[in-house]
């Protein structure tokens, strides 16, 4: 049995893994890109304490397995506690955009590949690249409109070739579906969530924060935006059973 102590107190964010050293009690912040050099969840890994007076080896365990949009929302509670309200609004707006991107990746890449009887990794990589190139320049409003249109009007293609055609045909300028089109869906739990996501003003608030005005939001604005994001995105993620893992969608006979 290993004698390396385990960090009992730790927390993870989208960008970092924070752990309290069992030897000195100081917190070490391990950046996923620079220190851990992986974006995969850390099930167990031995790390050196970053406190120069200690530098003892300890083990980190129990990383978060939440989706990226969920982690961005959860991180807002720490930002809120530290009164970093501007950063909280930025993270919430980003969470929406990350959610939209995940949904489109699932519907136009993962599911078609899983349903395809002739799976080809080159075709998969091509449609994934084409989708990324298509939406990378979309504004918040455009990618939201594409998400809504995909839910209201389209079904997930049943092959990678069909998905490629859908991606190639995506218009450069997206328009929100009408409320009547949303209300016409035979999904009573989905309709109010789609209307709420269409109505959110988080992108407008984010723009006030990042542009020349450098707006400083209030606690009340942050609390409203945080509760709104949780109530919409968590429920939609569960409804659509979204996972950023292609193996989840591979069908086995």
pLDDT (tens digit per residue) in 162-214: 999 999 988 878 899 999 999 999 899 999 999 999 999 999 999 999 988 89
Distance CA 121, CA 252 (A): 17
Task: Specify which residues 19 forms β-bridges with.
Answer: 10, 28
Q: What percent of the chain has pLDDT over 90?
A: 79
| pLDDT for 253 | 40
Q: Look-up: residue for tokens 């851990």?
A: 36
* Minimum mean pLDDT range among 18-27, 112-121, 235-244: 112-121
| pLDDT for 31 | 96
* 146-153 average pLDDT score: 93
- Whether 70 contacts 237, CB under 8 Å: yes
C-alpha distances in Å from residue 111, one per residue of 153, 154, 158, 251: 17, 13, 7, 9
Q: Percentages helix, strand, coil for the chain, rounded to the nearest 5?
A: 55, 10, 35
Q: What percent of the chain has pLDDT over 70?
A: 98
Q: Please list, in sequence order, all residues whose beta carbon lies within 8 angstroms of the beta carbon of residue 183, skipping any fewer than 6 positions away.
A: 191, 195
Describe the crossing of helices 202-210 and 85-105 by its angle, rounded to 10 degrees.
130
103-139 pLDDT per residue, tens: 999 999 999 998 887 888 888 999 999 999 999 989 9
| pLDDT for 1 | 47
DSSP assignment of 37-106, as one string?
Answer: ---S--SEEEEE-S-TTT--EEEEE------HHHHHHHHHHHHHHTT-HHHHHHHHHHHHHHHHHHHHHI
| pLDDT for 2 | 66
Residue 50 vs residue 211, higher pLDDT: 50
**Is the per-residue pLDDT at 53 higher than 80?**
yes
* 33-50 average pLDDT score: 94
């Amino acid at each position: 049995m290993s004698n390396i102590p385990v960090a009992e107190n730790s927390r993870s964010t989208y960008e970092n893994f924070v752990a309290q050293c069992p030897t000195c009690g100081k917190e070490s912040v391990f950046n996923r890109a620079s220190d851990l050099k992986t974006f995969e969840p850390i099930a167990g890994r031995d790390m050196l304490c970053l406190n120069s007076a200690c530098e003892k080896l300890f083990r980190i365990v129990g990383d978060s397995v939440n989706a990226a949009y969920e982690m961005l929302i959860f991180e807002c509670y720490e930002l809120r506690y530290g009164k970093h309200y501007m950063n909280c609004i930025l993270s919430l707006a980003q969470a929406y955009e990350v959610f939209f991107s995940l949904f489109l990746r699932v519907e136009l890449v993962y599911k078609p590949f899983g349903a395809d009887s002739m799976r080809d990794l080159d075709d998969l990589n091509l449609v994934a690249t084409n989708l990324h190139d298509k939406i990378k320049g979309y504004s918040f409003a455009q990618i939201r409109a594409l998400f809504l249109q995909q839910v209201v009007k389209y079904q997930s293609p049943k092959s990678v070739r069909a998905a490629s055609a859908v991606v190639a045909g995506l218009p450069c300028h997206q328009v929100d579906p009408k409320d009547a089109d949303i209300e016409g869906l035979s999904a009573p739990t989905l309709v109010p969530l789609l209307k709420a996501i269409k109505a959110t003003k988080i992108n407008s608030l984010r723009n006030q924060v990042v542009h020349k005005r450098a707006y400083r939001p209030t606690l009340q604005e942050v609390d409203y935006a945080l509760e709104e994001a949780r109530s919409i995105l968590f429920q939609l993620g569960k409804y659509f059973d979204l996972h950023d893992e292609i193996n989840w969608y591979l069908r086995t006979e």
